[in-house]
Structure 1
């Protein structure tokens, strides 16, 4: 086993034979695989932003006392489908962090030194095997085999990497959301498990009775499942992607939509708050007084305006189209 200070390993996949008994205390060999409703919710809730073409102008206000350092950090952040503008980079970064928080409860990024060109860049790495002890992040890396086509395979020994705290960025799911999603996911998991149980009540056709009579009312079964789903998602406001049910009134749909969008915006603002704090912290290695604050501009929807729409909806002072249009803006 090697214990040393180093950059985090970005190795994501390990063979089952490579995971030892001790490794299993730190590395999960099998992650929870969400089923139908759980998978849909995770995808919908992580979609904090919609089409970028819906709005023009800057989406974020960036206030920093060192513009050069701020541009250096954010401009060199590695995100999927890397945009050219800093505004676009922040948008992608918030989306990626949000997905990690919803799926894993935390997200990690590291400030890498690019020795080839003397620059730095920020990139994500897996949270698997990472623990924090007394403010220090430690990454447990099991032994692994690296294959090459032009030479013999190389076996790397087990490693404990002590990460540089000044370059490690950690993002955590807020306790409020963690509890809310945990409670909801327990119920949704049960609904997913029994979603197709009704087929057991379908009598089997026989030679003597090829068209057996079925007295089981599948409509009632479906309504019970729908009611259980809406009760489970009451706090998040998720609609289960149901838009045409005759059991849902327009008031119900709009109240739900406002609640769901408000939760998304609260998560968005919390990520921006943590992002500002983490960038300010790692930027102090270049300037002890460095600080940056990133906040949404009035081009993006706000929690305050959603609260106003909810009050107006209760008083019947706003139309449904206006609410839907505002909730699905960028």
Structure 2
């Protein structure tokens, strides 16, 4: 394994770490094989309300001294759909970033400036972000043995590499400190619960045989298993307010659903506001290298804040607002 220094990270399809790579890199989360992880990330990514807005940019506004440049930067953040609209670009960016943050703990974007065209180009390291770790003032990328098949006619195999990256032009979004440890614990438990959600009944129940044609199950109570499983699940997701899409049952009620809905929206709003805060702090620092006078602030408008959601929860406890008000407000805002 060789050690190199570079300004630019490298994109490559993500793969399981091997050998010494395991010292630096954790195995990627198999989202689609973990039922609860997949559902949680699907619900979490909607950081911007799904309710319709007449204006495409209705939830955000830009305060800047260079509107064309600021729009190029923000819309370039939309790595999936490349929308030219402020609101759509930020919604797509927040969605993909939330997913990446809960997969890896951080999100990496490389900003590159072309002076002659005055055009911003953004390359995303989303599939390889699990292989980028902090090392003092540097970011360290662990590159596996790889080839250029499909990119060049001259086939070549590159050795594994430890690449030190200069963080000057790299936009790194991190989870809030309070969520970093909770993320690992939450994902680990959701993966475990996904594996336990459908027990192997062939091993749990006695088998029919000639000697025992009508076996009795004296040791496994499935109803008790489901009760204990539900308790473990809700203890795991209680801090986030996510309901695991389980809205029925004797323990559920409109009040219970409304409270949890408010708490999950509060969890999403806190994450959204922290990502926007990091954008406002880090993007100007990167652009100041080529334009020292540049100023830019992304502002939210029309969306519920954590304080407003806390107030709504208190009003719900006091009976001052209805369940319908909670559902309508959290859907449209």
TM-score normalized by structure 1?
Answer: 0.86
- From 243, 248, 251, the equivalent of 1:244 is 248
Q: How does 1:184-199 map to 2 (within 5 A)?
A: 184-197=186-199, 199=201
**Aligned equivalent of 2:276:** 272
Structure 2: gaps of 5 or more residues: none
Instruction: Tell me, yes or no, if the aligned pair for 1:48 and 1:268 is still in contact at 8 Å.
Output: yes
Give the Cα–Cα distance (whole angstroms) in 2 for the partners of residues 241 and 319 of structure 1. Answer: 21
Which ranges of 4 or more aligned residues in structure 1 deviate by more than 6 Å?
Answer: none
Matched, 1:32 2:35: no
Q: Mean alpha-carbon deviation: is it higher for 230-239 or for 187-196?
A: 187-196
- The correspondence for 1:131, drawn from 130, 133, 156, is 133
Aligned to 1:274, what secondary structure does the other structure show? Answer: helix
Q: Distance in 2 between matches of 1:70 and 1:117?
A: 15
Is residue 89 from structure 1 mapped to residue 89 from structure 2 by the alignment?
A: yes
Change in Cα spacing, 1:2 to 1:239, as seen in structure 2 (3 Å) is closer
Deviation at residue 80 of structure 1 after TM alignment: 0.9
Would you say the 8 A contact 1:141–1:158 is kept in 2?
A: yes
Give the CA deviation at 1:84: 2.5
Q: CA deviation at 1:78?
A: 4.4
1:76 aligns with 2:79: no
Q: Please report how far the alpha carbon of residue 184 of structure 1 lies from its aligned counterpart in structure 2 after TM superposition.
A: 3.3
Partner of 2:237 in structure 1?
Answer: 233
Separation of aligned partners in 2, 1:160 and 1:217: 52
Aligned residues: CA RMSD: 2.8
Tell me by how many angstroms 1:317 deviates. Answer: 1.4
CA contact (8 A) 2:29 2:103 kept: no
Is there any run of 5+ residues in structure 1 with no aligned partner, and where? Answer: none
Cα distance in 2 for residues equivalent to 1:228 and 1:2: 45
Question: How far apart are the structure 2 equivalents of 1:160 and 1:204?
Answer: 54
Q: How many residues align?
A: 324
2:314 is equivalent to residue 311 of structure 1: yes
Q: Deviations over 1:193-216 (max 9, x none)?
A: 433337244332334655544465
Aligned counterparts of 2:161 and 2:211: Cα–Cα separation in 1:
68
2:305 equivalent to 1:294? no
Tell me the secondary structure at the aligned position of residue 48 of structure 2.
Answer: coil
Change over 3 Å in CA distance of 1:176–1:15 after alignment to 2:
closer
For residues 99 and 214 of structure 1, what CA distance do their matches in structure 2 show? 43
Residues in 2 aligned to 1:179 and 1:15: alpha-carbon distance in whole angstroms: 23
Paired position in structure 2 for 1:56: 54
User: Is 1:177 matched up with 2:179?
Assistant: yes
Cα pair distance change 1:258/1:202, threshold 3 Å = same
1:169 aligned counterpart, secondary structure: strand
Bigger Cα displacement from structure 2, 62-71 vs 314-323:
62-71
Counterpart in 1 of 2:98? 98
Distance 2:67 2:208 in 1: 74
Q: CA deviation at 1:133?
A: 3.3
Question: What is the TM-score with the length of structure 2 in the denominator?
Answer: 0.85
Aligned match of 2:329: 326
State the 1:269 CA deviation: 0.5
Match of 2:225 in 1: 221
Contact 1:236/1:260 (<8 A) preserved: yes
Q: Residues of 1 paired with 2:4 and 2:200: CA distance? A: 55
Which whole-Å CA distance do the structure 1 matches of 2:257 and 2:248 have between them?
Answer: 10
Secondary structure of the 2:167 match is coil
**What is the Cα deviation at residue 118 of structure 1?**
5.7
Once residues 232 and 164 of structure 2 are traced to their aligned partners in structure 1, the CA distance between those partners, rounded to angstroms, is 46
